[in-house]
Amino acid sequence: MEITPWEKVKLARMSLRPTGLDYIDRIFDNFLELHGDRYYGDDHAIVGGIASFGDLPVTVIAQQKGRNTKENIMRNFSMPHPEGYRKALRLMKQAEKFHRPIICLIDTPGAFCGIGAEERGQGEAIATNLSEMMLLKTPIISVVISEGGSGGALALGVADRVYMLEHAIYAILSPEGFASILYKDSSKAERAAKEMKLTAQDLQEYGIIDGIIEEPQGGAHNDHDQAASNIKAMLEKELKELINLPIETLLEQRYQKFRGI
Amino acid sequence: MNMNPFKSKKYAISKIYRARPQEIVRPIRDIPEDEKPNVPQGIMTKCPSCGNMIYTKSLCTNYNQCNECGYNFKLSTYERIAIITDKGEFEEFDKSLSTEDPLSFPGYRDKLENTKSKTGMQDGVVTGKGKIDGCPVMLAVMEPAFFMGSMGTVIGEKLTRLFEQATKEGLPVIVFTASGGARMQEGIFSLMQMAKVSAAIAKHSQAGLLYVTVLTDPTTGGVTASFAMLGDIILAEPGALIGFAGPRVIEQTIGQKLPEGFQRSEFLMEHGFVDHIVSRDQLKSTLGMILKLHANTGI
């Protein structure tokens, strides 16, 4: 049976769905979390660190939802503040220095909207990531694991390969926000979800993403291990290809990938 | 008998206060039609900030600024270009570039046609090459009246081409931003323009070239989170609304009123995100000076 876009939105937001750390545990070994942006603080909505992927040292960055309400409050429902994006950039620059590939797991409703976020330059933090990621001299792979919401998702999404899980969504903003702007009625989110074209299948057709990672029957929440091993298989294949590319070719291809949209 | 002097005083004040609306009745004068002063429509303009009545003609010669409080009235894109560039020194690029409606979004084409005929523009930005105080420069000016200055594929493409051309010719770029955010009707394609333009800026910057942004009212959303904040030098017009999320969204999210002056140019400068606030009458000379300072690379 065909799953409607709105059902996908609900699937992607399901609390039983594996989070960034669930995947990190299953895909990588020796994950060591590295905290803080070195300017202001440590944002719990983004986790990052170093790990090994097989024999290969990598840098992993993930937007992290909580597994329950208490955790979600601590993680700010995976809505990062500017210091989260600055931490991510710090770790990415570190990865570049030590020639480690970067893997980003995207899962956020969007960058946080609040007084502190504005005071500390949410726009500047995202903008800087967009332009800096374009020049990083190391391979980057981003995977939208559940929700890819707006610039807050894109700030970890300027990559050589962008994948989405089968039931993940990626859009300019939430269907509710979209409906409230365009139809002046946030309850028309279902209609918005259809018209926005936010499913992995739509985005692959448009050439926005490079591929779709299959989920276990019924969705990733049914079998975390299987979902993780599907991501792992993709990473193995893509990393092998990317780390063998000359840096100039890699960067030129990254530029052209976004230039063409 | 109330012995508290403060209480009785308060009572007295509130009595006067309450009495006002009922007791003071202003007589309504009926002026016959032929005795009414004859002021043609549009000859005077009221300032929405201080309420000052301004002779419209003097408003135009004063860069559309209120002569009392300095409030910035909207400037159309071509007015802006005329004010900023040297006379006769602007060559427009990609004027006819128009969106292909990538999502085939219901109702979008009709709305587009309507906006195009109203504004006489094909989309929300004008790009081109011009001169400021004799210095050659690539210039882009966004039009807030075109879908609220929202960024879709056309704005993304025109800006990317401008930066690529500037990199090729070794020229600086100045962008005047004005935007309500991303063009909803172009969905994920609008979002990707943020990455695309930022990429072209990164290359321009890598070539050691100057990029100046001038933030005008309003600059929000995806434009703030990409090219608006990437300038080597970021200028802003006084009092412009600048932010990532719009104030209404923030109020709804946090459930409280925002402080006075929040997300205005002065607030951003205070928090370290704007280099300098420049009033319109000083803009051309300031930009000219910046360009001259970067024309010869010191050492």
Work out the minimum CA distance from A55 to partner chain B, whole angstroms. 32
Interval A93-129: pLDDT, tens:
999 999 999 999 999 999 999 999 999 999 999 999 9
- DSSP reduced 3-state for A10: helix
| Residues 6+ away with beta carbon under 8 Å from B117 | none
Spatial separation of the C-alpha atoms in residues A239 and B89, rounded to whole Å: 50
- Tell me the CA end-to-end span of chain A in Å, nearest whole number: 32
User: Between chain A and chain B, how many beta carbons pairs sit less than 8 Å apart?
Assistant: 146
Cα–Cα distance measured from residue A48 to residue A66, given in angstroms and rounded to the nearest whole number: 15
- Output A148 or B47, whichever has higher pLDDT: A148
- Chain B's closest residue to A110, CA to CA, is B245
Q: Compute the mean pLDDT over every residue in chain A, rounded to the nearest whole number.
A: 96
Chain centre distance of CA B13: 45
Asked if B262 and A134 come within 8 Å (Cβ–Cβ), the reply is no
| CA separation for the pair B210, A148 (Å, rounded) | 33
Q: Quick one: tokens of A221?
A: 């929440």
Q: How many helices (H) and strands (E) does chain A have?
A: 12, 8
Test B243 with A172 for CB contact under 8 angstroms: no
Residues of chain B with Cβ-Cβ distance to A197 below 8 Å are 103, 187-188
| Whole-number Å distance between alpha carbons of A108 and A13 | 10
Whether the predicted pLDDT of A152 surpasses 60: yes
Chain A nearest-CA residue for B108: A182
Q: What's the pLDDT at B14?
A: 46
Which residues, at least 6 apart from B96, have a Cβ–Cβ distance to it below 8 Å? B122
Q: Answer whether B250 touches A (CB < 8 Å).
A: yes
Contact A171 B201 (CB under 8 A): no
Q: At what angle do helices B153-169 and B187-206 cross, to 10 degrees?
A: 10
Residues of chain B under the 70 pLDDT cut: 1-40, 297-299
Contact A151, A172 (CB under 8 A): no
Q: Which two tokens stand for residue B88?
A: 């006769």
**Which residues, 6 or more positions from B133, have their beta carbon under 8 angstroms from its beta carbon?**
B86, B284, B285, B287, B288, B289, B291, B292
CATH of domain B75-294: 3.90.226.10
Interface residues from chain A to B (CB-CB < 8 Å): 111, 113-115, 117-124, 126-128, 130-132, 134-135, 150-151, 154-155, 157-158, 170-173, 177-178, 181-182, 195-198, 203, 206, 208, 255, 258-259, 261
Residue appearing with tokens 């001259």: B292
Contact A181 B184 (CB under 8 A): yes
Report helix, strand or coil for A115.
helix
Query: Of A113, A120, A181, which has the smallest distance from its Cβ to B253's Cβ?
Result: A113
Q: Which is nearest to A110 in space by CA: A132, A133, A81?
A: A81
Contact A63, A156 (CB under 8 A): yes
CA A81/CA B28 separation, integer angstroms = 57
Q: Is residue B6 left, alpha or beta, with left meaning phi > 0 and alpha meaning psi from -120 to 50? A: alpha
Whole-angstrom distance, CA of residue B239 vs CA of residue A49: 41
Q: What residues contact B245, with CB distance under 8 A and at least 6 apart?
A: A113, A114, A117, A118, A122, B220, B221, B253
Residues from chain A that touch B193, judged by Cβ atoms under 8 A, are 261
List, for residues B93-103, the tens digit of each pLDDT value: 999 999 999 99
In the prediction, which pLDDT does B210 show?
A: 98
Q: Which residue has the tokens 């427009």?
A: B92
Any chain A CB within 8 A of the CB of B24? no
| Of A100, A76, A129, residue with least CA distance to A28 | A100
The pLDDT value recorded for residue B16 is: 47
Q: Residue A105: helix, strand or coil by DSSP?
A: strand
* HEC string for chain B: CCCCHHHHHHHHHHHHHHHHHHHCCCCCCCCCHHHCCCCCCCCEEECCCCCCEEEHHHHHHCCCECCCCCCECCCCHHHHHHHHCCCCCEEEECCCCCCCCCCCCCCHHHHHHHHHHHHCCCCCEEEEEEEECCEEEEEEEECCCCHHHCECHHHHHHHHHHHHHHHHHCCCEEEEEEECCECHHHHHHHHHHHHHHHHHHHHHHHCCCCEEEEEEEEECHHHHCCHHHHCCEEEECCCCEECCCCHHHHHHHHCCCCCCCCCEHHHHHHCCCCCEECCHHHHHHHHHHHHHHHHCCCC
| Interface contact flag, B196 A259, Cβ < 8 Å | yes
What does each C-alpha distance from B190 to A34, B29, B110, B223, B241 come to in angstroms? 33, 56, 19, 10, 21
Please tell me the predicted confidence (pLDDT) of residue B28.
Answer: 62
The B residues from 87 to 126 touching A (CB cutoff 8 Å) are 102-103, 105-106
In chain B, where are the structural domains located? 40-73, 75-294
Q: Which of A132, A151, A208 sits opposite B194 (nearest CB)?
A: A151
Residue that wins the pLDDT comparison between B15 and A4: A4
Residue B91 forms beta bridges with which residues? Answer: B129
* Cα separation, B240 vs B34, whole angstroms: 43
Give the three-state DSSP class for A130.
Answer: helix
- Chain B from 147 to 176: CB within 8 A of any A CB: 160
Is A130–B226 a contact, with Cβ atoms under 8 angstroms apart?
yes
Q: Give the neighbor-by-neighbor strand order of the sheet with B135-142.
A: B90-93, B125-132, B135-142, B173-179, B211-219, B233-236, B276-277
Can you state the angle between helices A175-182 and A189-196, rounded to 10 degrees? 100
**For A178, which residue in chain B has the nearest alpha carbon?**
B184
Q: What is the pLDDT of residues A44-74, one digit of tens each?
A: 999 999 999 999 999 999 999 999 999 999 9
Q: Which chain A residues are Cβ-neighbours of B203 within 8 angstroms?
A: 134, 255
> How far, in Å, CA of A188 to CA of A6, rounded?
11
Tally of residues, chain B: 299
Q: Tell me: ipTM over 0.90.
A: yes
Cβ neighbours for B121, distance < 8 A, ≥ 6 positions apart: B77, B143, B146
